[in-house]
Amino acid sequence: MSYGDERFWIVFNGEVYNYRELKTELEQAGHRFRSTSDTEVVLAAYAEWGTNAIRRFRGMFAFALYDRAPMPGAPSVVLARDRLGIKPLLYANKGGVLVFASELRALMESGFVAKQADPEAVLDYLAVGAVFQPRTILSDVQTLPPGCWMEMRGTEQRIVHYWDLHEATEGLRNELKNISFEDAVVRVRHLLLDAARYNMVSDVPVGAFLSGGIDSTSVVGLMSEASGRQIRTFSVGFEEVSHSMDERQYARIAAKKLDTDHQEIVVTAVDAANIFPKIIDSIDQPSIDGTNTWLVSQLARASVKVTVSGLGGDELFAGYPHFRWIADAAQECPKGWPTGLAIARLLSSIRPNRFTQHRLFLYSPQADRLALLRRLLNDTGLRCDVLPEWNREASLRLTRRQEGFLREDADAVQQTSYGESRCYLVSTLLRDGDVMSMAHGLEVRPMLLDHPLVEFVYALPAKLKLRGKINKGLLVHAAEKYLPEMLRNRPKMGFEMPFGSWMTGPLRDKMRSLLNCPTAARLFQPKYLNRLQEQVVKGNPPRELWAWAILLGWSERFKVELPS
């Protein structure tokens, strides 16, 4: 779209929820609009305020804006991304040529980037099953970090950080130090309803993913109240999982309570053979996550073009068990720390189990604790299962990344939330959620990541977020009117995918073929590959095999070369 006699041009992806308020202000300043689009408002806002306009946008967005006649000192090109990194923006700057896109595949098709994997990105993947931004799996391509814009003046490139969760809440954290739980609940409830009103701004019906968990149920209840309409909801189930792990039963309870128009899809092992190559095609770059989003998005897109999700609730409201573990470990400060840490590391390497991992977690510094989360291969696995040229200092790299995210003036829960938002949330959940939903042309809005809500909850002291035994008690109390009693006290459950039965059933031959491919031999020790083959045959493959299958299948499909 162009604006201002075709001086300003934009390529825009996402939604600016407060565009109507901005439009009114811009009209008062003399701007005239030809459309009802938020894209035109973004252009007019830039024409009026320059890059400072980006700080005023509320929503999820990524855009590239070109100014054909920039003022002295102003950039000719600006790339920008929303605060939390909900929408992706990838770019490469080579030989004076700037290319950018929402997906890696587009950049590979451009011919300006080499299909050469980044060794550091591969190491990230072997450790946690994802690539930490701003890296991508390709050496030539970077991701613009969340809360940033990039300015181009000729061939000169500069990245500006316009928002940081911790820095943005400095005054708020001090203000809320002594707030009561009851007052916090009231203010969170108000911010939740405000977020729902903004997320429901749309020219088309808005649906929702509903798992029956606290986050998704709260979101659907808020959507219903904000809009006054019946909400279409969608959930996915799997034939092979036990009844206790099938979330459809909880989704049905929530749907009945909230009177939604509810639909389900059941995926069987037979479906897996057809699903796997489609996952590889859609995932854009390797990740262990995203298959569930691909499935439920396929169902939802048949009915709606936009859905809302509860993604981000665990990171924001301290929903994962490790929030309590880390807070408790920070309080305990065990005696004999250096010796205890050395012994814990030795025991964990000799016999890794729940007890030895807990001791290691307890004695480790905070950055190490965060680096231990969601590991596919622990230190022992990286040393014994991966070829030596790949595993040197791999664990140290994970710790150093977390050290860069630690904020000394934050409490243990804030430190964990900040680290999660900069790593797992943006590099796995949001990235995979966007690419796998957009594979079906479905827009997904993570309502709980509305930045005023995020800032307020982050700023609250740890004792309010870990109060009592109810998981995410602050959210439960704020949204209690929408939550069936059975769901309020429901224990935290991870989303269960039947990858094991898939890999030993309809995908068995595919798994064995991938484990025998040349790329696998360039990554893993022969003994480890043989052990994986045996586990597939015996029907007990480890969780990480799904991640290896995605990586190997993706590199094979897109002909990406892994470095030797």
Ordered alpha helix ranges (H), 283-333? 291-301, 313-317, 321-332
The whole domain housing 398 covers: 321-412
Handedness of CA 478, 196, 472, 61 (dihedral sign): negative
Q: In this structure, are 26 and 118 located in the same domain?
A: yes
Residue 335 has pLDDT above 60, yes or no: no
- Cβ atoms of residues 315 and 424 within 8 Å: yes
Give the domain-ending residue among 412, 442, 470.
412
Q: What is the CATH number of the domain that holds 69?
A: 3.60.20.10
Q: In this structure, are 96 and 108 located in the same domain?
A: yes
- Cβ atoms of residues 107 and 113 within 8 Å: yes
- The answer to pTM > 0.85 is yes
Instruction: Give the pLDDT confidence of 403-417 residue by residue, as tens digits.
Output: 888 898 999 999 999
Residue 189: the pLDDT is 98
Tell which residue, 171, 82, 189, 215, has the closest CA to residue 459.
171
Q: In this structure, are 35 and 142 located in the same domain?
A: yes
Residue 392: the pLDDT is 60
Q: In this structure, are 106 and 211 located in the same domain?
A: no
Residue 242 has pLDDT above 60, yes or no: no
Q: Best-predicted range by mean pLDDT among 270-274, 296-300, 487-491?
A: 296-300
Q: In this structure, are 426 and 290 located in the same domain?
A: yes
The number of distinct structural domains making up the chain is 4
Count the helix, strand and coil residues of the chain and give each as a percent rounded to the nearest 5: 55, 15, 30
Give the domain-ending residue among 359, 377, 412.
412
pLDDT band at 564 (very low <50, low <70, confident <90, very high): low
Instruction: Give the pLDDT confidence of 78-92 residue by residue, as tens digits.
Output: 999 999 999 999 999
Q: In this structure, are 44 and 156 located in the same domain?
A: yes
